Amino acid sequence: MTVETVNRVLSGAVADGVTNDGPVIQKAIDECSSQGGGTVTLAGGTYLSGTLRMKSNVTLNIDASATLLASPNIGDYAADVHHNRYRNETALDRCFIFAEDAENFTLTGRGVIDGNAEAFPNDGSIYRPMMIRTLRCSNVHVEGLRLYNAAAWTTAFLDSSYIWIHGVDIRNDKRYNGDGLDFDGSSHIFVSDCHVRGTDDNFCLQASSKDYPVEDVHVTNCAFTGVCAGVRIGLKSIGDIRNVAIANCTFHSVWREGIKIECTEGGTISDINIANITMRNVTRPIFVVLNNRFELDDYGSSVELDHMPAIGRLERIGISQLIAVDDEEEMSRTHMRFTDDVMGSPRFNGIRFDAAEGHPIEDVTLSDIRYVAVGGVKLADIPPMDQYPPVLDRLVHPNGVSSENYYPDWSRATFMDLRNVHGLTLRGVHFTALRDDEREPVIIEGCTKAREVAF
């Protein structure tokens, strides 16, 4: 595909931000693909478009002088772009850039892909397209771009493999469901040197199917700022998630969890190594839970899950060289997403591991951790400690009150609450509270130490 041919194909684009240039761009992508591959470059203006379909061996290059802008007209978005896999979020099925069964394609440049978020509603509606979704794709590169203002999630890589995300700036903080980088059933993932700001999970690994394990994941040199979670592993965990390395990342102003690991749907999450992390003003630096859940209309249930699963396995978790400091005035208040969605407060804080009795989290090492919490909680500000529920096995206790992610909305301990962890190693852990706090500083319950072998 020659530059002359590409330029001729794009000669019909207006690039005024009003006229729909989508058909012209799609024609150029299709022509490149039909001739074995090539590059389509957008430069010198704002290109309005609805759904674009990436094809094998094609590079879409958005020059620093260009913006690819999502059309505000939902009629410009195709309906056959797969589906969002959360049962309660069918409203997010449409998307802006889509690829299916494609390989060796790239989204690159120094320009902007703008999801035009404020043109769409801020909650449940079909009129909220995701920005980028791939399905069963391989050798995918996203490099250098500014991905701004998605109407819903910024990216969703589904059942795909060999994915490189490098030097990408994501700012998705104008609407609910403002996820950054989401991977479901995908493997061989390499994410580096990215900045992610959003209203939901910044980086997320999910496993909706036993057929597509999530494995061989590398995340390094990234900055996360968000409302819900900086790094989330699981919730959707029908299949397995394993062999994950996250290092050299910063977290700032995350109103719920910095690192969240949830094995909830019967699969196995294992071999997770997180190191060299700095957090500032993160309400709950670490949250890890092993349980089972299935409620037909509840938040977070996978479309693919149709029954209450047996509790899965959560094992071999290492978190080291972590510094978390909550020292801004905002951390002494209840902080919210938008105007009325409570995310956290001083009483909802700390490092927490929890599991059902008889189904412990196995082999956890927490080392070289320094945590400065805001503190200041009085016992009168929280329910009595004996009202803090256990994690229940829902196959045994379907109707009991169980401890979950969003319930209770308070913490038993100022710094660390570890329950039902077998093979636990704590090394070099230091805690400080900025204000007097009446809760126990650390609670360790139903845990066993790791066996030590001398050489």
User: For each of the chain's 455 residues, which pLDDT tens digit applies?
Assistant: 333 444 444 657 899 999 999 999 999 999 999 999 999 999 999 999 999 999 999 999 999 999 999 999 999 999 999 988 887 787 889 999 999 999 999 999 999 999 999 999 987 777 899 999 999 999 999 999 999 999 999 999 999 999 999 999 999 998 889 999 999 999 999 999 999 999 999 999 999 999 999 999 999 999 999 888 999 999 999 999 999 999 999 999 999 999 999 999 999 999 999 999 999 999 999 999 999 988 776 666 788 888 999 999 999 999 999 999 998 888 988 888 877 778 889 999 999 999 999 999 999 999 999 999 999 999 999 999 999 999 999 999 999 999 988 889 999 999 999 999 999 999 999 999 999 999 999 999 999 998 765 55
- So what's the pLDDT on residue 1? 31
What's the CA gap between 454 and 324, in Å, rounded? 32
pTM for the structure as a whole: 0.95
What sign does the CA torsion over 396, 402, 403, 407 have?
positive
User: Beta strands 181-184 and 155-158: pairing type?
Assistant: parallel
CA distance 92 to 423: 41
Residue 87 neighbours by CB under 8 Å, 6+ apart: 296, 297, 298, 301, 302, 303, 305
- Which structure tokens are listed for 304? 């693919």
pLDDT of residue 306: 87
pLDDT of residue 454: 56
Q: Which domains are delineated in the chain? A: 3-449 (2.160.20.10)
